[in-house]
Amino acid sequence: MTYVQRKFYFPEDLYIALSLQAKQEGLRIVDKLRTYTERGLRQDTQAKKSTSGGLAQLVQLGKTLKWKGPKDLARKHTKYAAEAAEADLQRIYDQYR
């Protein structure tokens, strides 16, 4: 494996905590940083996959229930958004009358 050398700055309290953990485990600080970085990247990747999975489930639900939208949505999205906003404002107005 090829390594790249970089210089990073940490807040002092974070560096002290990291140094203490590394000493307690008998590791070097750089090994602890690699471990935390790898773990964080894995968690971030999994979070992104689970988020996109929800969108895929929504698409599948739409297909299952045969949801249909307007065929000209791409061209008239501004009009539809304005109509939806107007309906929301009317609903709020009616609620507080």
**17: pLDDT strictly greater than 70:** yes
Using pLDDT thresholds of 50, 70 and 90, give the confidence band for residue 1.
Answer: confident
Handedness of CA 66, 71, 75, 76 (dihedral sign): negative
Question: Cβ distance 32 to 18 under 8 Å?
Answer: yes
CA atoms within 13 A on the CB side of 15: 5
Task: Return the C-alpha torsion angle 87, 90, 86, 66, nearest 10.
Answer: -10
What tokens does 42 get?
């894995």
Q: What pLDDT shows up at residue 67?
A: 85
Using pLDDT thresholds of 50, 70 and 90, give the confidence band for residue 30.
Answer: very high
